[in-house]
Amino acid sequence: MSIIGSYIPVVIFLIVALAVPPVLMFIVYQLSPRSKAADKLTTYECGSVPIGDAKIQFNIEYYLYAIAFIIFDIEILFMYPWAMVYIGHGITEIAVVAMLLFFIVSVVIGDLYMWKKGAFKWVK
Amino acid sequence: MNIVDIVYNPWFSGIVGLILIGIVFVCAILAVWLERKFGADIQSRIGPNRVGGRYGILQGIADAIKLFTKEDLIPAKADRLLFVIAPIIVLGSGFMMIVAIPFGAIVIGDNVYPIAATQMDISIIYLEAVSALSVIGIFMAAYGSNNKYSMIAAFRNMARMIGYEVPLGVCILGVAVMAQSLDIVEIAKAQSPLWFVFLQPLGFVIFFIAILADMGRLPFDQNEAEEELVAGWGTEYSGLRWGLGLFGEYIHMVLGACIMVLLYLGGWNLPKFLTGIFVLGSLMPIFWFVGKVIVIVLIIIMLRWALPRFRIDQVVDLGWKVLFPLSVLNLIWAVALSLAFDMFFGA
């Protein structure tokens, strides 16, 4: 299969994935009953009258985790191409190990640094 | 043009591959039934026992029909667009995963024909990417439904994904290093004599924990903790809209088990003297693969009824302070092992 060809099924599946739920909901509209009670549209809050809005600002305790995630995730993604070429492409073992160490050390030092600085602490 | 060319024509395999969606859907319905029946057995209850004979095996179908006759409610305060799109994304992420996963293979002689809608050269990265999409869907559902419980659940869900996507990626990297490929079919083929679980036991344990967290199964289902958050992100959802999201999650569970079998538990590989048997031998790898997937799904379901739930900060800490360093260790181990293989057995 060519590279472009291998993504044709993805497009077909994507179209189906986008088309199936609306079709199912259409069937539901044909089959389901309607009631006119107004209370059915209120937000659920254990049966009492809802207080305020849910879209308020509150402390996200893991903000620094999230920043760390972005850095590490991209760093890990950079290692995938490396993992494919390090054997059998004329690269010597020393170069392989040096490249691995460069990535690993930067990841581990980053992790330890954030840990020591208290980034991985659930802020109460 | 012979038959193999026709079957592997992308248009043909893409359209015929849609059957796989149906099969996985049935598997997800069966997984719901299995979860209820098995959970009932573990807790000395009876569980579903009316629809479809003594064991209630058609309960899932009855539930699906019931969902079709429920009124579709969108709360007055909800953001209608987000509310409607969110389940489509959760379900769609499952559908997009089905494309790239080979559900077994037909082995004829030395040729292996994987049963997959497509075979990409980077399918494992693709799978990681589309499976992470469901988190966005869940967040949209929570933000759109404008409910406090849903919002807390979605934030927890984000925290969990952040903590476990990185160890998961590093574990997959360890597997890719050993198989020298990012194609999940090649990775499965590379385990022909020896499963990767024996070469990287540490990696398997980390991967298992991380994928449990990724699927949101207990002990990592803080986003649906019913004792504290009602129904988590789906609190405002009802009827079939809720059903779509639920099926999306169960599809994720089944597919997660498939990926685990393909990456670590040897996929469909069987010894040659078994696949050499006429016709039956060619089909045996499928049953072998499906059998392993069923065992993994049973283990995942059993864990739900056996383990208590962690607190969310404990979960995130486990991801960053234990699993991530250990997964880097596993990566070094995998590289060292494959370099040694290359030195002793390579060209």
To the nearest whole Å, the CA of A33 is away from the closest chain B CA by 6
Torsion sign, CA atoms B290, B292, B298, B301: negative
Contact state of A42 with B76 under an 8 Å Cβ cutoff:
yes
Task: Encode pLDDT of B98-127 as tens digits.
Answer: 888 888 788 777 777 888 878 888 888 898
Percentage of chain B lying above the pLDDT 90 cut: 4
- Interface predicted TM-score of the whole assembly (ipTM), two decimals: 0.82
pLDDT in tens, A16-72: 888 888 898 888 888 888 877 777 777 777 777 777 777 777 777 777 788 888 888
Contacting residues of B for A25, CB less than 8 Å apart: 72, 240-241
Residue in B118, B173, B328 nearest the CB of A108: B328
- Whether residue A26 is contained in a domain is answered as yes
Of B96, B100, B230, the CB nearest to A14: B96
- What percent of chain B clears pLDDT 70, i.e. is strictly above it? 97
Cβ–Cβ contact A35 with B under 8 A: yes
Q: Express each pLDDT in B120-150 by its tens digit.
A: 888 888 988 888 888 888 888 888 888 888 8
Are A29 and A70 within one domain? no
* A81 located within any domain: yes
DSSP letters, A53-75, are -S------TTHHHHHHHHHHHHH
Residue B214 burial (CB count, 10 A): 23
Give a yes or no: residue A52 inside a domain. Answer: no
pLDDT of residue A123: 66
Q: Is residue A80 part of a domain?
A: yes
Q: Which of B118, B160, B200, B338 to mutate to test the interface with A (most CBs of A within 10 A)?
A: B118
* Domain interval for residue A27: 5-41
Evaluate whether B51 touches B59 at the Cβ level (below 8 Å). yes
Q: What's the domain count of chain A?
A: 2
Within a domain: A54: no
- Residue B185's pLDDT band, with cuts at 50, 70 and 90, is confident
Judge whether A121 lies within some domain: no
Give residue B230's region: left, alpha or beta (phi > 0; psi -120 to 50).
left
A&B contacts, CB < 8 Å? 203
Q: Percent helix, strand and coil across chain B, each rounded to 5? A: 70, 0, 25
**For chain B, what is the mean pLDDT?**
83
Do the domain assignments include residue A75?
yes
What are the residue ranges spanned by the domains of chain B? Answer: 72-345
CA-to-CA separations, A86 to A93, B125, B338, in angstroms, rounded: 8, 18, 10
Q: Do A40 and B73 make contact, defined as CB atoms within 8 angstroms?
A: yes
Q: Does A100 touch chain B (CB under 8 A)?
A: yes
